[in-house]
Amino acid sequence: MKHSNITINKIGYTLAAVLLLACAVASAGCVGMDAGRNGPAAPTSPEATASPGATQAQPPSDGLIGEEEARPLAVAALEREIPGIRIERVAAEPYDAQTYGDVWRFRVKAEDDPDPEGEILVSIDAVDGEMTSFQDARDYYRPVDPAITIDAAEEIAGTYLRERNESSDVVKVVAVLSTADTPLGLRNGPYHFVYQRSIDGVLCWYDKIILDVDSINGRVVSYSKFWDVSNNDTMADPEPSIPEDAVHERVPTYLHDTYGTDPGEIVIGSTELRWYDLTAQQRTAQQRWSQEPVAVPLAWRIEFDDEWYRSQDPPRTARIWIDAHSGEVLSASYNPGR
């Protein structure tokens, strides 16, 4: 099987980039791609300047785990993930609650880390105390060829998921070698894997697990988990009421009725059946764990273009989500070119 490469930046690939990878995964066919959805006492964290929309460390509220309780959980999680690590400092990171949900994010500096800020990140769910993500960005990219094959790395990733009891309801959709284009030339990074969540044989669009395996020593250096659809959420029948050919006919009708123009010749590029879990992704962790069910629709995701999209340089595509049972348009990303 042929595997392509993916180029990503170093620290920018951390938790924020994991979320952006959901878009990259979509463009790659999601085949997708992000996590947050998920020793001795460390010194008090230094003050951090929050960016717009970011949240500073807060005391516990509404039954959520506070920073001081989350800090030792973060240390314990890293000691499991990185055996023998010697932690010098643990600092709470500001975070965007709308993006990450109710989690505590910490930046950790190990004693052997030359970066004064530290290059290890870890997130703890403020609801249940579980680790939702970590990344060890030390020596992430090197000017050497991989020492292990991508197949061997995939075995390592599979074992890691089985040990966390997370392998039965996920499907691998991405397997690539990450690279970085630096002023000194191309650098190889870890093998990058994305496992999409599957419910009743249908893949979610958002819920996934992302793993990176070091291409030199085979160590798992990054783990992120998006898991916003709870067991209390109701699910529609996984068999669509509206077949694929019928839903295609809905696209030009919707565009005409909504934008009041003839889009010209519509060309359908791809159609896939997914759980439309974008609504669940926007909920907070407390809402996610509430007893109140949230309907997650079964939907057709259609990529298409028209004459205007095809005339762009480079050509572009539009997309639309249509409920696979009711035929309702759930969302659309389309520009009529006017």
pLDDT per residue as tens digits for the range 139-191: 889 888 999 999 999 999 999 999 999 988 999 999 999 999 988 889 999 99
| Rounded-to-integer distance, Cα 325 and Cα 286, Å | 29
Structure confidence by residue, pLDDT tens digits, 320-330? 999 999 999 99
Q: Give the number of other Cβ atoms within 10 Å of residue 147's Cβ.
A: 11
Average pLDDT, whole number, for the chain? 79
81 touches 220 (CB < 8 A): yes
| Rounded-to-integer distance, Cα 246 and Cα 264, Å | 19
CA atoms within 13 A on the CB side of 76: 9
Q: Give the number of other Cβ atoms within 10 Å of residue 285's Cβ.
A: 23
Helix (H) or strand (E) holding 24: helix 15-27
Confidence of residue 233 (pLDDT cuts 50, 70, 90): confident
Q: What does the block give as tokens for 100?
A: 């990450």
Q: What does the block give as tokens for 247?
A: 């839903």
Q: Residue 45 has what DSSP assignment?
A: P
Query: In order of start, what are the domains of the chain with their CATH numbers?
Result: 5-226 (no CATH), 244-333 (3.10.450)
Helix, strand, coil proportions of the chain in percent (round to 5)? 25, 30, 45
Q: Residue 268 has what DSSP assignment?
A: E
Q: Closest Cα partner for 46 from 14, 90, 15, 78?
A: 90
| Rounded-to-integer distance, Cα 103 and Cα 122, Å | 10
